[in-house]
Chain A
Amino acid sequence: MDIRYRYKGMPRFKILQPWYEHTSWEPWDEERVSWLLVNRNRRLIVQALAYGPLTLDELRERLRISLTPHLADRDGLSYNVSPEVLVNHLQAMEHHGLIHRQGGGYVLNLPVLTLADQEKLRLLSDELGRGLAERLRQAGTKSEWLDPLLEQVTTTALQMLDETGDWETYRRWAEEYDADAYRTWAEARKR
């Protein structure tokens, strides 16, 4: 399971950083990425809740941080997040609308893209892309129209989805998480 952060440029590497971007000059962007996701332990809470609600005790069990050697034949080290720290994290996340309580557990408000979702998305996007490419070929579309055309097609599709059903086109994955926009969305859902 994985959270897709805006993390580009180093596919070999495994550490997930929320907005580490080598190709731009700003490796962090407080305006776009909430401080809530700066802390790895809060990111782990998001990961743990991605598949469904968990109680405090269940979260404590799942939040185990460990490091094992790459190569050496030796056990690594591991820690659990301290219970009082976990409570503080959960309170902050709840206060800022990232999670809410339901029954005896915590539920994530933020949709998370899992690796399983990602594969489904890839199949869907392949199908859509092939169909669109064929239509563009048939219509003899000029190459200079392509970028504005694709943007327009996307906007039109999102508008139509919004009009025709319970689609949340402003729904974001963690990689695009924007604190202000998310709060607006959370407020709208509450209403």
Chain B
Amino acid sequence: MSQQILPYAILESARQVGFDVETMLQPDTPKFFLNFNRITAVKEVPGLILAGRELENGVMADVIVTRGTKIKRPIHLCFGVVPEDGVQEVVPRFIIEDEAEALILAHCSFPRARNLTHRMEAQVMLGRDALFFYEERHYHGPYSGAHVYPTFEVDVGPGSRFETVFSLTHGTVGDLVIFLDVYAHEGAKVEAVAKVYGRSEKDRVRIRDGVFLEGRDASGVIRLRAAATGGGDVLMMGITEANAPGARGHVDCKEIVQGAHSTARAIPIVRVTDDRARVTHEAAVGRVSQKELDTLMARGLTEQEAVDMIVKGML
């Protein structure tokens, strides 16, 4: 049955990045699965609207959690492409209405990508006093052949909370350019986390997360974690802008750089246009601690294995 819903290669990569595939595939699990440009599974639950339309190269979709609905089980989204090349475009809108709650686990899998482009333009809006957790895990295969360009524009309504985690820590990266803008309204809370591991000279990462505190007492935290090894090139920029009284924000960038020609750059930017607001930042880029390396190598790991373990620990 699982073969009919999604190809084995995509399910296997979901397992590899830590998802519980059996749960994903259960008939009563809320889900929206896309295999290239074919919607292969949709399961709604009371209060959850999932509407999709197949496009030539992908899909447009609505994910709506209706007013007051609290969905306890994670909603699984999967956007996969098995062929080595092509273009996939995904245009979703997420609307989490007043006092609604939802957790989305999204899996983007391109396990054989050699010259494959994936673009996403996501728009998200939370109503009042809503709670939305969105986690996206990617797998781009072993060839550094994926070109992945997602953009997100998010509005977090008064008193609502939005948390997002992006991770790409297994396999190669290829080209990755992420553009996230979050606008926090009055009393809203935002946490944006990105974790990426670039392993080869073909891996290029550009992540630009922006949190704009546009309402009284809004707060936001950006955490960017990355590693560049084997010639990988990572640039992460976290922008927090406080434009309202009582707004509080923090940007935290940590990156590891290891090996010749690897480059890691971190740019935290903080801006405040209201003298009753406060934003802080911290950034650190450096190689793996030699002491930690020696300790792991003394226990039988090669240098590469030891670096891998330390990086994964940070991510």
B-contacting residues of A (Cβ < 8 Å)?
Answer: 9-10, 12-15, 17, 20, 22, 25-28, 30, 35, 38-41, 65-67, 69-72, 74, 76-77, 79, 81-82, 84-85, 88-89, 91-92
Contacts and interface: CB of A to CB of B under 8 A. Distances in A.
Interface in B21-69: 49, 51-53, 60-62, 64, 66
Given A20-B151, A28-B208, A70 B60 contact: yes
Contacts of A91: 273
A88 B241 CA distance: 12
Contacts of B62: 69-72
Given A38-B241, A41-B214, A82-B215, A15 B151 contact: yes
The B interface is mostly helix, strand or loop, or mixed, namely strand
Contacts of A22: 147, 149, 177
Given A27-B177, A71-B60, A77-B157, A39 B119 contact: no
A74 to B, nearest CB: 6
A116 B62 CA distance: 31
A72 B66 CA distance: 12
A13 B51 contact: no
B189 interface: no
A24 to B, nearest CB: 10
A49 to B, nearest CB: 18
The A interface is mostly helix, strand or loop, or mixed, namely loop
A38 to B, nearest CB: 7
A74 B149 contact: no
Given A26-B206, A38-B210, A77-B155, 9 more contacts: A10-B121, A40-B183, A67-B93, A67-B125, A69-B64, A71-B51, A82-B244, A85-B214, A89-B273
A9 B121 CA distance: 12
A30 B241 CA distance: 15
Interface residues of B, number: 52
Contact of B155 (A15, A39, A79): A79
B237 interface: yes
B256 to A, nearest CB: 21
A122 B244 CA distance: 42
Contacts of B19: none
A69 B153 CA distance: 14
Nearest to B124: A67
B127 interface: yes
A69 B245 CA distance: 32
B129 to A, nearest CB: 13
Interface in B116-164: 119, 121, 123-127, 147, 149, 151, 153, 155, 157
A12 B149 CA distance: 14
Contact of A69 (B89, B95, B212): B95
A80 to B, nearest CB: 10
B216 A82 contact: yes
A176 B124 CA distance: 28
A12 B214 contact: no
B206 A25 contact: yes
Contact of A74 (B49, B124, B157, B185): B49
Interface in B181-229: 181, 183, 185-186, 204, 206, 208, 210, 212, 214-216
B311 interface: no
